[in-house]
Chains A and B, each alone.
Chain A
Amino acid sequence: MTGPGVRPPRPPEWLDAAVCALEAGNWRDVLYVIYPQVVGEAQGQAARLLSMVHAITRGMRWRALGQVVEAWAEFGDAARMLPTSFCPTRDGQAIPLAVLAPAPEGDFGHAMLTWRAAQTVVREQQDLLALRALLVKPGLTLYEVLVYAYADYRRWVEDDPWTWLEPSADTPSVVRNTPMTFCARATRIRRFGRPFAADVDPAALRRAKGLPGLYADTMRYLAAAAAPAEGIPPRLGWTRAHELAIRWLDDVEKRLDLLASGDP
């Protein structure tokens, strides 16, 4: 019951915890801990919001698996579940985009949680749009695709602290990084921009400067990259990959400076 003088019910604490976890990129906590525990008790507005939270979670899981097309569709579904003010054009569109809206003033209830969840959808959709923009550039080389794919792996798996917290059902398939699985990931990422691109052949990895070169170029790319959505804090995995790349670059540049100065 709402109306003048009637306070709307406060959202349950677990909903705040789930939205917090997704802001940090900890989709595993939502998928394997929070959601199974609370899905039976979620009622009314909390139930409505939990559906959307779960769609964001699934989208992030697809990202960790390198399944970008599926992630794109899942974040689109999450956007469709948002109130119209966060997703004005939704019907008819294959994948609607969530938009930034002002935060509800003085509201710490469901409206604020909805706004925060919407911010997360905006961030993830913008991240994917930025990736697609890189992949459709004319003259894109296979080597650049490998760099973007490796950067994606670092942001969503290797440098994501949540990957290594506790093993989950997804852990083996997420963390596996053989030449074969890496090329499959690179193929999927490449096709997110160009659906008719050929499979990425593992031989391309061997030809492409070898792994040390690929590592260095990926670190340079990660260090220089801008956050996916202006004004929205990135996921922790994104931030850690960025910071680590900057530190690596610092270390390397110091070493190069030493070599240039003739000091051993």
Chain B
Amino acid sequence: MMACDAHLNSVLAYAAHIGAGVCVDVDLAAPWRPCPVSADAVDGTTNPLLKALVGPQAMRRVGRSAERPPTFKPSSAPLWARVAMIDALNFWLPSALDQSLVDAERGVARGRAAKTLPVDSEVRGVILGEAVNLARRASRGVVRYLRALAAHRGVLPVGLVRVLEPLVAGYGELLADVDNAADRQLSDVRRAWEAVAALRTSSYTMTPEAPARRPRRHPTRPRRASMIDPRQVQARVLALSRNPGAAEITVADTQLGDRPALLVRVPAYRRALDQPVVQRLRVRLLDGRSDAPRGQSLLTVEAKPPRGSSTVHLESIVELPGADVAPLRVDVFDALSKAPPALADTDEELQEVRRALAFLDEWRQLMAASQVSGTSLAPRLRELAECLAPGDVLERPLFPGGPSGADLRALARTGDAALLRRTRTLDEDGGGASDLFGLTTGAAGLLAAEVATADAENTRL
């Protein structure tokens, strides 16, 4: 499932397929907004699910109008909103995440939500089936992660335990439904957890040491380069720059036989190289006038990385339709993506998405870090404002509905102690807040994988 334009004015929208052909649209940049619901069919199979989402009256409107679909408030069906939001986070978040933990959470969340449906309904069985398949597929990676925790750590931050415990409990809930509870993949997770649960936990400590961050550069743009469009490829497949103004795709002249061609190179997110999506990646040349490609080819992992390079690149040679053609933009996309391509890197929607992602990713990392350590938030907020909104655009929102650089600086001025107090009581909001802190509460709460990454970075310091 790809990003879509389901929300008017949505920046980080995602249509999550939650089961049996029913889709819920969510927006990571405004998770408190009502979620539109659509379905391939409104019939005996989908009715119980649609009723649970939008109620018996509104479900009759599902599929009738693409412009005004029925919606539900995330707080009215929190378990379903969470299912959709986890899928959206999986699609959009560019930072390092343990994919097994993400998939495990997708499975567990589906299992919990499906169990609210009538016991005899077909759709309950369908979604529970998807839930248990996801949980099983993630099992090996989750076990590996838990065993590493148990082997190398004496004390765990309470913030980490608080997100892992419900995840493991979810495996138990699914296991209880398996005939005779005979399922090695599910029970392995519970067994691995026993050793982790025996570890001591530590409460939060205030250590105002800012973790070292990679330096951000101000927007730069090589002469022959294009930007990754995050709407076209699931996150953590290509290495999206932390700088929203930087172009990641490089282009050089070459030949294919005796014909003029372009050599296209794009940095890969290393851990994703074995995923099927890598085999589906294509390159298309756009001339800026229409979205019909002027040339198209497949990406492959580069045969010989340059000596000393730690980044793996994907590359492709694309034949030019004529020597006089100078493509404006080189677009890298997943063959399954339905999102129309941006015709130029200066496309305002593309720029908004990149800025929104850069902000949201950093913001969520800050929130995750504050759950496991006494990281200093204020300097990182100031740095973020500096990078995303330099002096001349300080007052302008980074993306529609988003904060401005001035907002971020004002927040930084409230000081570390106040900020940390606020971030550690996120759960008490219940998910209704429509401010910056609302971006990581309720259905959009932090993933276990996000907290695990923050914990891993914290222990490396």
Please tell me the size bucket of the interface on A.
Answer: 20 to 34
Return the contact of A51 from the options B40, B133, B279, B316 (Cβ within 8 A).
Answer: B279
Could you tell me the distance between the alpha carbons of A41 and B317 in the complex, rounded to whole angstroms?
Answer: 7
Contact: B128 with A196, CB < 8 Å? yes
Number of interface residues of B (CB under 8 A): 40
Instruction: State whether A94 and B19 are in contact (beta carbons under 8 Å apart), knowing that A51-B335, A69-B133, A199-B184 are contacts in the complex.
Output: yes
Which residues in A have their C-beta under 8 angstroms from that of B316?
A: 40
- List B contacts of A191 (CB < 8 A): 133
B23: CB under 8 A from chain A?
A: yes
Verify if A28 is at the interface (C-beta below 8 Å from B): no
A198 within 8 A of B: yes
Residues of B within 8 A of A55 (CB): 276, 279-280
* B interface secondary structure, majority: mixed
Q: Which residues of A contact B338 (CB under 8 A)?
A: 91
Contact (Cβ within 8 A) A58 B40: no
Roughly how many angstroms separate A91 CA and B316 CA in the complex, as a whole number? 29
What residue of chain B has the Cβ atom nearest to residue A69's Cβ?
B133
* A interface footprint on B259-295 (CB within 8 Å = 1, 0 otherwise): 0000000000000000010011010000000000001
**Contact, CB under 8 Å: A43 / B280:** no
Q: A43 near B319 (CB under 8 angstroms)?
A: yes
For residue B7, CB closer than 8 A to chain A, the reply is no
Q: Is the Cβ of B282 less than 8 Å from the Cβ of A47? A: yes
A80 within 8 A of B: yes
Q: Please determine whether A198 and B336 come into contact, CB atoms closer than 8 angstroms.
A: no
Of residues 91 to 143 in A, which have CB atoms within 8 Å of B's CB atoms? Answer: 91-94
State the Cβ distance, B363 to closest chain A Cβ, in Å: 30
Contacts of A92 in B (CB 8 A): 15, 17, 21-23, 38-40
* CB contact under 8 A between A51 and B298, given known A80-B336, A198-B179: yes
Given the complex, which residues of A lie within 8 Å of B178, measured CB to CB?
Answer: 196-198
Q: Are B297 and A47 in contact (CB under 8 A)?
A: yes
Interchain CB contact under 8 A, A54 and B296: no
Q: A92-B40, A198-B179, A198-B182 are in contact. Are A58 and B279 (CB under 8 A)?
A: yes
* Residue contact B179 to A89, C-beta cutoff 8 Å: no
A21 contacts the other chain (CB 8 A):
no
Q: Which chain A residues border B280 with CB–CB below 8 Å?
A: 51, 54-55, 77, 81
**Is A39 an interface position by the 8 A CB rule?**
yes
In the complex formed, the residue of A with least CB distance to B39 is A92
In the complex, the answer to whether B21 meets A195 with C-beta atoms within 8 Å is no
Q: Within 8 Å of chain A (Cβ to Cβ): is B129?
A: yes
Counting CB contacts under 8 A, is B300 at the interface? yes
Chain A residues with Cβ below 8 Å from B15 are 92
Q: Determine if B21 and A93 form an interchain contact, defined as CB atoms under 8 angstroms apart.
A: yes
> Does A201 interact with chain B (Cβ within 8 Å)?
yes
Q: Which residue of A lies closest to B277 (CB)?
A: A77
B161 within 8 A of A: no
**Does A48 belong to the interface (CB within 8 Å)?**
yes
Q: Please give me the residue from chain A that is nearest to B23 by CB atom.
A: A92
Could you tell me if B182 and A199 are in contact, using CB atoms closer than 8 angstroms? yes
Give min CB distance, B180 to chain A, whole Å. Answer: 5
A55 to B431, CA, bound (A): 40
Any chain B CB within 8 A of the CB of A245?
no
Whether, in the assembled complex, B386 has its beta carbon less than 8 Å from a beta carbon of chain A, the answer is: no
Q: Which residue from B40, B300, B335 sits with its C-beta under 8 Å from A39?
A: B300
Q: 26 A-B pairs, CB-CB below 8 angstroms?
A: A40-B300, A41-B256, A42-B298, A43-B296, A44-B296, A47-B282, A47-B297, A48-B296, A51-B280, A51-B335, A58-B276, A77-B276, A77-B280, A89-B40, A91-B40, A92-B17, A92-B21, A92-B22, A92-B38, A93-B17, A94-B17, A94-B20, A196-B128, A196-B129, A198-B180, A198-B182
Q: Which 3 A-B pairs have the closest CB atoms?
A: A198-B182, A195-B129, A198-B179
Which B residues are closer than 8 A to A by beta carbons?
15, 17, 19-23, 38-40, 128-130, 132-133, 177-184, 256, 276, 279-280, 282, 295-298, 300, 316-319, 335-336, 338
